[in-house]
């Protein structure tokens, strides 16, 4: 498993936090995702042989008005 922290623009409330976390957790190969509204980031624990950064970016950006930055 790999653990990475990604910056996320657009998270403003608890609902946004849940949207981002749930979008990432729905990806097969992701073990956990924890978003931090104040730090404007998300920590993702995932299998880097199955999940790529671009998969995480797509999931976040398709879940609302959020932008994931590598």
pLDDT tier at 63, thresholds 50, 70, 90 = very high
Q: What is the model's pLDDT at position 19?
A: 98
pTM above 0.85, yes or no: yes
Distance CA 41, CA 52 (A): 17
pLDDT digits (tens, 9 = 90+) for 1-47: 999 999 999 999 999 999 999 999 999 999 999 999 999 999 999 99
Question: Residue 47 sits in which domain range?
Answer: 2-69
CATH number for position 27: 3.30.70.100
Q: What is the model's pLDDT at position 61?
A: 98
Q: Could you give the residue ranges of the DSSP H alpha helices within 26-69?
A: 53-61
Structurally, how many domains does the chain consist of?
1
State whether residue 70 is helix, strand or coil: coil
The token pair at 32 is 């956990």
- Give the contacts of 39 (CB within 8 A, at least 6 positions apart): none
């Amino acid at each position: 498993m790999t653990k990475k922290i990604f910056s996320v623009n657009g998270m403003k409330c608890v609902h946004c936090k849940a949207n981002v976390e749930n979008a990432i957790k729905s990806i097969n190969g992701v073990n956990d995702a924890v978003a931090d509204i104040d730090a404007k980031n998300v920590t993702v624990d995932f299998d880097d042989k199955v999940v790529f950064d671009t998969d995480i970016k797509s999931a976040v950006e398709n879940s609302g008005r959020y932008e994931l930055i590598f």
